[in-house]
Structure 1
């Protein structure tokens, strides 16, 4: 007789080992008593086989516990085993996924929602990459993804994980762009809009107005922070529903916002085909050197849009003593934000970047929520 209950054991095998020790029996003895094979007895004791109702009834005849107690202990063990197996599968899946996606960062940013099992993870990954539920998700898609990314990038991209993150960032931007409705793409309309872009920079609610007008000429805009190691300021890409411009707000400055906007819009105008080809993506790090022909062309157009030649010509005679009053004078006469004026002068080493602090102004809070891929 024993005072032990099923709560004292985690598995039927543990209980049987205890009983055999208490009775001084061997596995062979138990097999003989139960009239089953030694192999079957050994498998039950090692928890390799579940306890059937028939075996539970036999054990009731041999030991102190009722048949239903043996069934309850076995059921509890089988459930816990399935939970552990599910955890192991999830861990294995996460190890696989982490080679291609910064899952933890995506969770922190809210790009993915918390999940409890492998089914929850797979469901979100299928949704994120727009893969049908009945189709297996091949992670090689993250390496090819049928897109051709052209980078204006720093040496940081020597790390292959950076490109993986950049592709994930692109996919998040693409997903949000599909939620936006704009007019059909009008190349001539975009060209006209860019010719007066500088005037929006000094308008009240100028950013909101420009983004609205950008949609009227068929260009979608998405605001999305960059992932770690990507060092992105913005991107321009074609999609099935038209061209998309995405900015990260990496530097929360007026001059940076408008220059990157002008640069990416120039890519749309100059380098994205009139007919949509979803495999063309331009990604830009504004702090890196420019080497490709297309990047130089986009930069030159952006400089023209933001009146760089006029700014440099006007301030040429004031080099060394450029005052706030002169910056304001030019800004008002040409209808362009003073921060952009100083930013161009600083980039061309005519003034110190510290001068920008006088005209510092945040832009993040001026971007309407509908353009934000991340909700605030």
Structure 2
């Protein structure tokens, strides 16, 4: 009877229907009679006993009342049986997949073809490990020597940020450049001086840097990342500037490029890798006080390169608070820089609101991506370049 049923060991893992069969036989009932007692169709009882139908809470309540056991007894039997039917995953695919997703933004990496899309856990794990240059899921990926410009904490490196940097390094090896020299790099910077006026001149940046031995490429940001650019080093003679073009505006492009050029100039990130910037153009820009010394230096270099601080200071003193478009265009013409660069610096200095003269912020993303090796913005490269 019921006492005997309750003493059965769960290891036997019988379907609940076996217990129902024993109970009605002990009472001398037929399946039809049990169906009448429960007020349910005979077919339901038949399917319960045959194990073709699961016990629902409603059925468990009826069985509990019919056999004087309580509904929980039958729900426990049903749960134990169903769990026992689930095949054990010998590959531990769930836990392995969870670890992979902790290590990297796997889904987005497959969507962007940074790794080969696959449902096979073994293939997926190998792809992620190879991408991050680690041998096991218990190993932590080592951040590449770099200095980067982003708007999240300098002390934190999210898996997505690391993945972006690894992708930039991976693709940079496919960029053809001349041997790097400090003299050639200084010459490239001098050429940049005459490229700040016309947005179309942004097209020349990849070639000018390549002639100086600096690899330049574009990698679109991943979701949840706010990196604008990075300076990586394949080795001490192979600097890389990667930009995300997250802000499609001329001032943001040039400030980021020149900021990373400062890192190349001073060899930032060559030995002290793991440094990430938090300063950005736009309303989310970090304050100077938040930045490490080398980031302040890179920001000052980028800003002064396009507009000398003294020139901007004098302009602000003379014009404030009447920053008309005509006056901004006049300063732009006198300094031979695009008016959008003037607007961007005035916004960053909080001399004008971010809503002021936004139409002057020319877009350059379409120009740059036509000339540079680009991963993103609808043009996703395969894992092998």
TM-score (norm 1): 0.67
Q: Secondary structure at the match of 2:174?
A: coil
Quote the offset at 1:264 in angstroms: 0.9
Shift of 1:209: 0.8
Q: Compared with structure 1, are the counterparts of its residues 149 and 189 closer, same or farther at alpha carbon in structure 2 (3 Å cutoff)?
A: closer
**What is aligned with 1:117?**
120
Give the RMSD, CA atoms, in angstroms: 3.2
C-alpha contact (below 8 Å) 1:238/1:279 kept by paired residues: no
Give, in whole Å, the separation in 1 of the partners of 2:146 and 2:138. 18
Q: Distance in 2 between matches of 1:347 and 1:95?
A: 41
**Any idea what SS the aligned residue of 1:367 has?**
helix
Of 234, 255, 267, the match for 1:271? 267
Q: 2:172 aligns with which of 174, 177, 180?
A: 177
| Gaps in structure 1 of 5+ consecutive residues | 1-13, 22-80
CA shift in 2, pair 1:234/1:200, >3 Å = same
- Structure 1 146/166 Cα, relative in aligned 2: closer, same or farther at 3 Å? closer
Whole-angstrom CA distance in 1 between matches of 2:326 and 2:184: 35
Inter-partner Cα distance in structure 2 for 1:138 and 1:111: 18
Residue 182 of structure 1: SS of its match in structure 2?
Answer: coil
Matched residue, 2:297: 297
Call closer, same or farther: CA 1:164–1:268 in 2, change over 3 Å. same
C-alpha separation in 2, matches of 1:326 and 1:141: 54
Mapped partners of 1:296, 1:190: distance in 2: 21
Whether the aligned pair in 1 keeps the contact of 2:93 and 2:121 (CA below 8 Å) is yes
CA contact (8 A) 1:226 1:232 kept: yes
- 1:364–1:151 Cα change, 3 Å: closer
Structure 2 counterpart SS, 1:140: coil
Unpaired segments of 5 or more residues in structure 2?
A: 1-13, 22-85, 280-284, 380-385
Displacement of 1:223 after TM fit?
1.1
Q: CA deviation at 1:180?
A: 0.6
Distance 2:105 2:170 in 1: 17
- 1:231-250 equivalences in 2 (<5 Å): 231-240=226-235, 242-250=238-246
CA distance in 1, matches of 2:302, 2:350: 18
Q: Deviations over 1:159-190 (max 9, x none)?
A: x6x53222111101100101111111122222
TM-score (norm 2): 0.66
In 2, the alpha carbon distance for the partners of 1:213 and 1:281 equals 27
